[in-house]
Chain A
Amino acid sequence: AQKVTQAQTEISVVEKEDVTLDCVYETRDTTYYLFWYKQPPSGELVFLIRRNSFDEQNEISGRYSWNFQKSTSSFNFTITASQVVDSAVYFCAPLTTSGTYKYIFGTGTRLKVLA
Chain B
Amino acid sequence: EAQVTQNPRYLITVTGKKLTVTCSQNMNHEYMSWYRQDPGLGLRQIYYSMNVEVTDKGDVPEGYKVSRKEKRNFPLILESPSPNQTSLYFCASGGGDLYNEQFFGPGTRLTVL
Q: Do A and B associate with each other?
A: yes
Asked, given contacts A43-B106, A43-B107, A107-B40, whether A102 binds B31 with beta carbons under 8 Å apart, the answer is: no
Task: Report yes or no: A50 in contact with B31, Cβ–Cβ below 8 A.
Answer: no
Task: Report yes or no: B59 in contact with A45, Cβ–Cβ below 8 A.
Answer: no
User: How would residues 90 to 115 of chain A score, 1 for a CB under 8 Å from any chain B CB and 0 otherwise?
Assistant: 01010101001111111110000000
8 Å CB contact of B45 from A52, A97, A104, A108: A104
8 Å CB contact of B50 from A35, A47, A95, A101: A101
Name the residue on B nearest A50 (C-beta): B101
Measuring CB to CB, which residues of chain B are less than 8 angstroms from any residue of chain A? 31, 33, 35, 40-45, 48, 50, 56, 58-59, 88, 90, 92, 98-104, 106-107
Interface of A: prevailing SS: loop
Q: What are 24 A-B contacts with C-beta separation under 8 Å?
A: A6-B42, A43-B106, A44-B104, A44-B106, A44-B107, A45-B92, A47-B101, A47-B102, A50-B100, A52-B99, A91-B43, A95-B99, A101-B50, A101-B56, A102-B58, A102-B59, A103-B43, A103-B45, A103-B48, A103-B58, A104-B59, A105-B35, A107-B40, A107-B42
Interface of B: prevailing SS: strand
Asked, given contacts A45-B90, A101-B48, A101-B50, whether A106 binds B99 with beta carbons under 8 Å apart, the answer is: no
- Please measure, in the bound complex, the distance between the C-alpha atom of A68 and the C-alpha atom of B38, giving whole angstroms: 28
Count of residues in A whose CB is under 8 Å from the partner chain:
22
* CB neighbours of A64 from chain B (8 A): none
Measuring CB to CB, which residues of chain A are less than 8 angstroms from any residue of chain B? 6, 33, 35, 43-45, 47, 50, 52, 91, 93, 95, 97, 100-108
- Please measure, in the bound complex, the distance between the C-alpha atom of A79 and the C-alpha atom of B103, giving whole angstroms: 23
Task: Report yes or no: A50 in contact with B99, Cβ–Cβ below 8 A.
Answer: yes
- Please measure, in the bound complex, the distance between the C-alpha atom of A95 and the C-alpha atom of B31, giving whole angstroms: 13
- Please measure, in the bound complex, the distance between the C-alpha atom of A52 and the C-alpha atom of B100, giving whole angstroms: 11
- Please measure, in the bound complex, the distance between the C-alpha atom of A28 and the C-alpha atom of B88, giving whole angstroms: 31
Name the residue on A nearest B106 (C-beta): A44
* CB neighbours of A35 from chain B (8 A): 101-102
- Please measure, in the bound complex, the distance between the C-alpha atom of A44 and the C-alpha atom of B88, giving whole angstroms: 11
8 Å CB contact of A103 from B33, B88, B107: B33
